[in-house]
Structure 1
Amino acid sequence: MLVTLNVSKLLSPLPLAAWTFGSSGMLLWGFAALLPIVIHLWSRRKYQRVSWAAMDYLLSAVQKHARRIRLEQWLLLSLRVLILLLLALALADPMISWFARPGGASQGEPRRHFVLVIDGSFSMGAEQDGVTRFEVAKGVAEKWIRSARQGDGFTLVMMTNPPQIVIRAPAFDVEDVVRELKDLQLPHGMASLEAMVTELEQLVEQVRRDQPRLEETVIGVFTDLGETTWKGVADRRLAERLEQLAKNSQFQVVDVGRPEIVNVAITRCQLKPDWITVRQEVPWEAEIRNYSKRAITGQRIDFWVDGQRVHQQSVDLEPGSQVTVGHR
C-alpha cells in the first residue's frame, strides 16, 4: 500500500513572519554581551589558592553546596549576557509582521516593494467640496495598500523639501501602513522633485540589498503635478534619472489634481514710488496670475488698509495669464 502526504496542504495554515530592523547597525552592540564572560574568565585567573588549616572546616561546608553555588553563578552570568543582548535588540528597533502563507492565485507570484510617495507641496491643500488634494492622494494610496498581495512590503515617503521618510524599512502589516498614512499632515511648504528622486534612488537600492526576497519594485507618486514642483522635469539630467527609475521599477505618477479648481494667486504686491512722505497718496500695484486650466471671468480684487476695504475691481483672466492691477 502506497501512502502519499500533501505537505503543502499541511503547511498552508501556518503563519509566516517578516522580521526587520529599523536600525540594523545597532545589533553590533550585541558584542557587548561578551563582556560578562570575559570578566568571569579574568576573575578566575586573578586569584591564587593558598592552603590554610583553619579554613578546612569552612571548605568542607562549601563543598557540600558547591553544585548549587556553581549553578547560581552560571545563571547570574547568563542573565547578564541576556540583558545586554536584549538591549542591543531593542536599540535595533525590531519590527515583526505576521501574515498568512500565500496560496491559491498568489502562489508563485513575486513579492513586491511598494514605494508610496505623497506630494506635500502647498498646492496639495487646494479644496473642492471640502476635500483637499492631499486627502484625495492619501485615499488613492490606501486603495493601493489594500489591494496588494500578501507578502508585499511598503515604504512611505512625503515629497517635501527635503523629503521625509515616514517608513524606511519595508513594513508588511497593512493596518500599520494605513495608520501611518492617515497620520500624515500637510506641511504647507515647498517640494523638491530632484531631492525626491535622489531619496528614491537610495531607498530602492537599500531595500534591494536588505530585502532581496522583494523581487519587484513599484513606485507610486501621488501628486497634483503642480508647476512649481514638476518644472524640474525639463532638466535633461533629472529626466534621465526619472527614466532610469522607470526602467528598474514600475514607476507610476497618479494625478490627483482637479483642473476645475480655481487657482489664482497674487504673485507681486508693492508700492510704486521708491519713497513716501506724510499726507501723500501712495499708489499700489499688484500682479494676479491664473494657474488654472480654464478662463476666469469677473475675478474680484479687493484692496484693504487697516482692516477696511478701500478699493474693489474685477478682472478677466485667461488660462496661465497674468494681469497687473493698481490703486491710488
Structure 2
Amino acid sequence: EDPAPKEDPAPKEDPAPKEDPKPEPDELDSVPLPTNVKPKTSEAFEAIKSAARAKIGTLTKETEELRTRLTELEARTKDGGIPPELKKELEELRTFRNRLDVEADPKFKDFDERVKSTTTSIYDKLKQGGASDEVIKKIQDLGGIEAVEWDGLLSKLPTTIRRSIEQKLVDVETLKEDRAKAVEEAKKHASQYIAARSEQTSKQREAARAEAIKHGEELANSTEWMKEKTIPAKATPAEKKAIEAHNKLVADSRLAIKEAASDDSPQMRAALGLGVAELMRVRSEFAAHKEASTAQVDKLTKELKAATDLLERVKKGSTHRLRDTPATADENRPKHSFQESPGDAIDRLAKEAEQGQSA
C-alpha cells in the first residue's frame, strides 16, 4: 500500500507581539495637562517629557561616572596616590626653597653689614698709613681684602696701624665664619626655622598694627572737631539734628582711622594715598572759594559804605533853619506813601534838599 501522505502540520500561529514595558512613573508624570487641550498639544507635551527623560538619564549617568572617578581619586590620595619619584622631587624642592629663605633672612644681613663696616675701617687705616687711593682701588679690583697678600703690605706700615689692621682682618674672618655656621645650623632645621620666623614676623606685624591703632586714637583725641558733642536739654530740633550729624561723622571717621591702621595691604595704602590727594584738592578748592568770597564781601562792604555815606549827606542837606513864617497848613505839606521804595525816597529827599538850598 502506498503510504499515506503526510499531513502538513498545522501552521503555527505567530506569537502576539510583546508590548514594551511601561516606564515607571516619575516626577514628569505628576505634571498634568488641562483636560480640554487638543490631541496635538497632548502629543507634543508627551514628546517634550520623553526628551526630558532622555536628557535626565544622560546627565544621571555622567554624574555617576564623575562620582566614581572622584571616589577613586580620593582613595588614591588617601593611600599616597602621588608617585614616589614625584613626591621625592616635591620634598627636595621644598627643602631647597626653605634653604633659600634661610639665606635671604634679614637676620643674617647683620653679619654682612658688620663685615662691610670693618672692611671700610681697614681701608681708612691704610690711608692713615700712607696708602693712596690708587692702592685702595687696586685692592678692591683684585677682589677685596681677602685677595691681598698682607704680609708684604703690612710690613711697610707703622706698628700701631699694622696691629689695628691685623685685628680687623681677624674680625672679618670671624664674622664670616659665624655667619656660615648660623646659616648652616638654620638650614639643618629649615622648616622649623622658617615657621619660627614666620610666627615672629606675625607677632611683630600684630604689634605694629596695635601701635598704629593707638596712635590713630591719640591723634583723633587731640583733634578738636573729632570730639563728640552733647545735645543740650533745650536744643531745638534743628540744633539736635546738627549735633547728631556731627557725632555720626565723628564715629565714622574714627572707625575709618582704625580700619586704615589695622590694614597694611597695598590696596589700603593706595586708598590712603588717594584720600590724601582728595584732601589736597578739597583744600585747594576751599582756599579759592574763600578768596573769592572775601573779595565779594569786601566789594559789598564798600558799596554799603558808599550808600550809607550818601544817605548821611542827603539827611544833612535836608536840614535848614526854621523860618519865621508860620508853618504851612497840613494840606500844603507833601504827602508820602508808605509804599514808597527806598530808591524813590532817596531821590525825593535829594530833590527836597536842593529846593531847600535854593530857597
Instruction: Give the TM-score category using the shorter length.
Output: under 0.3
Where relative contact order (Cα < 8 A, 6+ residues apart) is larger, the structure is: 1
What TM-score results when the alignment is normalised by the length of structure 2? 0.20
Q: Which has the higher helix share?
A: 2
